[in-house]
A and B are shown apart, each in its own frame.
Chain A
Amino acid sequence: MSEISIYSTAADMSAALATGVTTSVELTNAHFERIAAVEPAVHSFLHLDQEGALAQAAHVDAERAAGKKLAPLAGVPLALKDVLAQEGVPTTAGSKMLENWRPPYDATVVAKLKEAGIIILGKTNMDEFAMGSSTENSAYGNTHNPWDLTRIPGGSGGGSAAALAAFEAPLAIGTDTGGSIRQPAAVTGTVGVKPTYGGVSRYGLIAFSSSLDQAGPCARTVLDTALLHEAIAGYDPMDSTSINAPVPRVVEAAKKLDVKGLKIGVVKELLGDGFQAGVRQRFEEALEELVKAGATIVEVSCPNFDYGLAAYYLIAPSEASSNLARFDSMRYGLRVGDDGSRSAEAVMNLTRHEGFGPEVKRRIILGTYALSSGYYDAYYGSAQKVRTLVKRDFDKAFAEVDVLVSPTCPTTAFKLGENVDDPLAMYLNDIATIPVNLAGIGGMSLPAGLAPEDGLPVGFQIMSPGMRDDLMYQVGGTLEAALVSKWGKTLLSQAPALGGN
């Protein structure tokens, strides 16, 4: 094995730790050094927890030295999207509303990470309350795409994806409501998975849209993602929507490297003119690799996907308008204008005015409207019916094929500031990822190459039937191996150097 460094995979780091080639403290320090070097340019992180991370690293090293049996990823560092509650650590959801809020409890995902001995380096930047596709809606400044610092890293989980692409961490946790793990993965050349809805606990995940949100694993390789997936997934009695079934064997699937006999469906509606030429090209090339590897490609039609974006931009804001009502300055978070001259109501209204950014306010108002008396049937009610139709399209397709595929998003990373004033244009980024959330099935994005016209990463999306997450890892792992073999190197090794090397 070549020398272990921040450029290694989590799997390699894990092996090195197990054989004593390195220690978790060494690895953790190396990552903090890297972070210090590149953060001024990238700004992935909102908070760094050196003290906590190093204490955890030392603890894991001690346990290992004492001969204790440790989980596979014990001692490996990770970046945590700032939407998950971590006890005693500032958790902001990218919003001024929660500036310096330190939760008195851990999210289940965080508890599982700690239990597995994974080292949480810090909290990553995100679009405020997970609403956005570029991380430009963060109240704490932009994150920059390591491939081109003038471009967006995707959103809402741009911080986590950028941290991976900048080698600030080998593992990250994101959350995905309409594509917030997959789209950032696509534009940063990394891997991101939204598990089947209910596969990973939402307890402690600051809610955006409850029936769509899922936390998921992010890394630079499919295998690393699978290892992290198994560490965080599983039934949680604290989450009533949690699936009470064993975690699918995704690590095993990721190692299969074989798709012989699998039928892969290309969704006709997710390949039109709205998709950048270079994106389509790399997508087609990836399909060829899968054919070479023994899969059959079939075209399928999912006509109701055309309504997916509209349904999503009714359901998500509606649920959000209710989920964000708790931010009223009474019990925690920002409080503005409490100088004795105002009533609680006035302080509440003023605080919500100051504490929420424009996109969040826009969605709250939209959601309030969609749920309001007289409009419910036309908007929220209709959107829930579209959801049924989208599900039916998936069910019909999965009766014919094992997985469905598409480009993850229509374009490569756009420039910072390009779409900020055009909400609809911004929303179009999610057109291919949204149907997956509406149906609650699993979705993965992995790198398909660089677009010829701009040299920026293109993402390949794999969609697997509900509770068959293993299928996307099987296909993804096989594709990744084929592409890396074709390129002769990994995609990320072609990213521009940042900071000191």
Chain B
Amino acid sequence: MAAISREDVAHLAKLARIDMNESELDHLVSELGVILGAVARVQEAAAGDIPPTSHPFPVNNVFREDVVRPSLTNAQALSGAPAKDEERFKVPQILGEE
């Protein structure tokens, strides 16, 4: 059950948007296989009807009032930008849609 295939890892790398070379893929396949083998035991413990915990202390309804607060200046917002133009973040051509 713990085995993970090379195709799986390559697919996951795509989902995670990380390029991987052959050697990295090979290493990951074996490392992840070992790790998954170790962590798969959570399924034994979780066999019964147990509710999942997302937050250690159950608190609800944390909100803020609909009030405007100062934003960063354009300069501050763009301060880390690898490239910028006309007050906007400049990025390479986007494929994707259409």
Task: Using CB atoms and an 8 Å cutoff, list the residues of chain A in contact with chain B.
Answer: 101-105, 197-198, 211, 237, 240-241, 243, 304, 307, 309-311, 313-314, 321, 325, 328-335, 338, 340, 342-350, 352-353, 356, 358, 361-362, 364-366, 368-369, 372, 378-379, 381-389, 391, 423-424, 439-441, 466-467
Contact = CB atoms under 8 A, between A and B. Distances in A.
Interface string B34-47: 11101111111110
Nearest 6 A/B pairs, CB to CB = A440-B56, A332-B80, A384-B52, A385-B46, A335-B82, A382-B46
Interface string B67-98: 00000100011011111000001011111100
B3 interface: no
A391 B56 CA distance: 8
Nearest to A360: B18
Given A331-B89, A391-B53, A310 B39 contact: yes
B81 A314 contact: no
Contacts of B15: 368, 372
A345 B91 contact: no
B75 to A, nearest CB: 9
A439 B53 CA distance: 9
Nearest to A332: B80
A198 B57 contact: yes
20 contacts: A197-B56, A197-B57, A198-B57, A237-B64, A241-B55, A313-B35, A313-B38, A332-B82, A343-B94, A345-B96, A365-B13, A366-B35, A379-B39, A379-B42, A382-B43, A386-B42, A391-B53, A391-B56, A424-B35, A441-B56
A439 B92 contact: no
A381 B52 contact: yes
Contacts of A382: 42-43, 45-46
A440 B57 contact: yes
B50 A356 contact: no
B98 to A, nearest CB: 13
Given A330-B89, A369-B4, A362 B45 contact: no
Consensus secondary structure, chain A interface? helix
Interface of B: 4, 8-9, 12-13, 15-20, 24, 27-28, 31-32, 34-36, 38-46, 50-57, 59, 62, 64, 72, 76-77, 79-83, 89, 91-96
Nearest to B95: A343
A483 B79 CA distance: 51
A328 B92 CA distance: 12
A105 B18 CA distance: 28
Given A335-B82, A365-B13, A387-B52, A352 B19 contact: yes
A103 B80 CA distance: 8
B18 A364 contact: yes
A389 B45 contact: yes
A240 B76 contact: no
Nearest to A346: B92
A362 B38 CA distance: 15
Given A362-B31, A382-B46, A387-B53, A102 B79 contact: yes
Nearest to A388: B53
A423 B31 contact: yes
Contacts of B12: 365, 368-369, 372
Contacts of A311: 39, 42, 45
Nearest to B63: A240
B95 A211 contact: no
B11 to A, nearest CB: 9
A334 B82 CA distance: 7
A353 B44 CA distance: 35
A419 to B, nearest CB: 13
A100 to B, nearest CB: 9
Contacts of B19: 349-350, 352-353
Contact of B20 (A104, A309, A353): A353
A344 B93 contact: yes
A369 B59 CA distance: 29
Contacts of A310: 38-42
Contacts of B42: 307, 310-311, 314, 379, 382-383, 385-386
